[in-house]
Amino acid sequence: MQAHAEAPRWARLILLWMAVLALAGCTTLVPQTVALRTDWPAGVPRQVELAQVPFFPQDEYQCGPAALAMAMKFAGASIVPESLVDEVWLPARQGSLQLEMLAAPRRHGLVSLRLAPVYADLLREVAAGHPVVVLQDVGMLLPQWHYAVVNGFDYASGTIYLRSGLQQRQEMPFTYFERTWLAGNYWAMVVTPPDEIPATATESRWLEALLALARGGDREATVLGYRAALARWPESLPAAVGLANQLHARGSLQEAAGVLRSALRKSPNSVILLNNLAQTLSDDGRHTEALAVIRQADDPKSPFAGEVRATRELIEARMR
């Protein structure tokens, strides 16, 4: 008798545990979507769709060039996916590597920035008018990597809008999108013109992106990027140094000296600023001023003592 009475209690207990596990499963399966439900990022509208983002249907496996071309064209480059194939397509891997996706826009005077692996950041960028290139795993059983462009979302229906593969407007639930996106560690990037800093960029990440842009060799674009950085983070020492160096390389020595001088007002003891100002002044033929500046940088404990000595010797040699 007693055994019969026990049975429903057992069943109830199992059911309860299954419910608990299912709920716990949800939070671990799509942790960020669950967080979004209660904690929608402040200042982000509930519904955004960037309809102006162009659409390029992809050729076989070439989702990388297609997705990148959409983002780059939207950012102002005149480009078609075919011309990007030679820049990001890796024949032996039948695909495109993320790092190459980040490197390619720099060759066209655009800045590429990898986003933090955060759902809210993706939404913020889309809301700020920047379509986001994402890496998804769209395979059913086995991994199949795929690049697509997020160009909108709707909170009410829980939908992400993508330009993906052959679909101009793919609608995907927040949860399903997170599953596909999670597999690649939430990899996402935006492409912007150099004078437009992405909404979620931090000072150090933007400056890192500019250093990489400078490597690509587009000096005018890099100058624009550093100007934007200095406008947004006026206290930034690396931004001032970077801008001055780019101006120096372009031959605008007086402007470079001006940038360094105004940075020196904020950090008067910076050996880097003093050294570079002295070098710039000397290159401009103002050796006496340069010598006065480099003397202030005389600090044997500085990691740049060697550079400072070299600069001073150079100036003294030029004065002879």
Partner 1 sequence: MNLGFKKTTCRVLVVSLLALSFQTAQAGLIGADQAAAGTTSPERAMLLSTLDRTDVAAQLQAAGVDPLAARERVKSMSDQEVQALAQDIQAAPAGGINTWGWVAIVLIAALVWYYAIRK
Question: Would you tell me which residues interact with partner 1 (CB under 8 A)?
Answer: 61-64, 67, 86-88, 90-104, 106-107, 135, 137, 139, 142-147, 184, 204, 207-208, 210-217, 237-239, 241-242, 245, 248-249, 272, 275-276, 279-280, 283, 303-304, 307, 310-311, 314
Q: Give residues with Cβ within 8 angstroms of 253, minimum separation 6.
A: 247, 280, 283, 284
- C-alpha span between 293 and 303 (Å, rounded): 18
> Please, what is the minimum distance in Å from the beta carbon of residue 57 to partner 1?
15
Which among 188, 34, 172, 207 has a CA at the least distance from the CA of 123?
188
CA-to-CA separations, 58 to 8, 24, 269, in angstroms, rounded:
56, 38, 54
Distance of alpha carbon 298 from alpha carbon 305, whole angstroms = 7
Q: Which is nearer to partner 1, 128 or 305 (CB)?
A: 305
For partner 1, the closer of residues 100 and 316 by Cβ is 100
**Residue 273 to residue 222: CA distance in whole angstroms:** 19
Measured from the CB atom, is 24 or 211 closer to partner 1? Answer: 211
Is residue 160 within 8 A of residue 177, CB to CB? The reply is yes
Q: From the CB of 56, what's the least distance to partner 1, in Å?
A: 15
Question: Of 95 and 152, which CB lies nearer to partner 1 in the complex structure?
Answer: 95
CB of 227 to partner 1, least distance (A): 13
Q: Where are the alpha helices (DSSP H) in 197-299?
A: 203-216, 219-232, 237-250, 253-266, 271-283, 287-296
Nearer to partner 1, 19 or 249 (CB): 249
| CB of residue 100 to partner 1, shortest distance in Å | 6
Minimum CB–partner distance for residue 193 and partner 1 (Å): 17
219-232 helix and 237-250 helix, angle to the nearest 10 degrees:
150
Q: Name the residue nearer to partner 1 (CB basis): 100 or 154.
A: 100
Q: How far is the CB of 245 from partner 1 (least distance, A)?
A: 5
Give the CA distances from residue 267 to residues 232, 240, 277, in Å, rounded to whole numbers and listed in that order: 18, 11, 13
Residue pair 221/210 in contact by the 8 Å Cβ criterion = no
Q: Which is nearer to partner 1, 198 or 216 (CB)?
A: 216
Nearer to partner 1, 36 or 216 (CB): 216
CB of 51 vs partner 1, minimal distance in Å: 24
Q: What residues are paired with 146 via a beta bridge?
A: 136
Six-digit token pair at 40? Answer: 């929608």
Interatomic CA distance for residues 153 and 15, integer angstroms = 36
- Closer by beta carbon to partner 1, 5 or else 140: 140
As measured in angstroms, the least distance from the Cβ of 49 to partner 1 is: 24
Sign of the four-CA dihedral 56, 76, 211, 84: positive
Min CB(217)–partner 1 separation in Å = 7
Beta-carbon neighbour count of residue 246 at 10 Å?
Answer: 23
